[in-house]
Amino acid sequence: MESTTEPIKKIALVVAGGSGSRMKTPVPKQFLLLGGKPVLMQTIQRFYDFDPSFEIIVVLPDKQFGTWKTLCAEHRFEIKHTLVKGGENRFQSVKNGLDAIEGDEGIVFIHDGVRPLVSHATLQRCFDTTIQKGNALPVMPVVESVREITDDGNKPADRSKLFTVQTPQVFMVKEIKEAYSLGYDPAFTDDTMVLERLGKTINLVEGNRENIKITHREDLTVAGALLKF
């Protein structure tokens, strides 16, 4: 007898609000070329290749819509996606993207548009953990020595208890929409902090080392080398 279970709806909410200031380039970093295509296209491609059924929402400053559409035409980029206007900060941009999701069902992967090297294994771990436990946060252990600033100067920190945070940060749509409806707090630096206001425990999963965020010019060089592997 065939199963009648409906497949779980997956949404990739890709947030790309960079201006290129830290890159010292007039071109927003999400539009810089990586492997012959804009970084943002490489990022979207990762989700599509992992699962073509993904509903993809791309959040951009509205003044960049025209540029993006031109780039899509030039590169013959035909992966279906919905463009959503960004907000004045990352919180508002994510909220605008969440508001564009119809209904409260499914799982949403909130991802930085300039992290084009997230692995399929990381996406799978995030999905599986969210199904089992309600959310997932990919992290990597800190491998270098770390010092903490104190009132008296500084001291060594225990790196075995520290992790760097990556995206996608993955949630049940209903829960993360509820968390974002509670409003903005300047202390927020990522989406899991927003969810924690509901009293939820955040579930850490293994990320992938090459899942870097392209922020500075040298990051683009590193990403180009990693893309070849």
Please state the pTM of the whole predicted model.
0.94
Question: Cα separation of 109 and 207, whole Å?
Answer: 14
Q: Kind of pairing, strands 135-141 and 204-206?
A: parallel
What is the four-CA torsion angle of 51, 196, 186, 117, rounded to 10 degrees?
-30
Domains recognised in the chain with CATH numbers = 10-136+164-227 (3.90.550.10)
Amino acid letter, residue 65: F
* Intervals of the chain under pLDDT 70: 1-5, 18-25
Q: Which helix (H) or strand (E) holds 45?
A: helix 39-50
Report pLDDT digits (tens) over 205-219: 999 999 999 999 899
Residue 4 is predicted with a pLDDT of 52
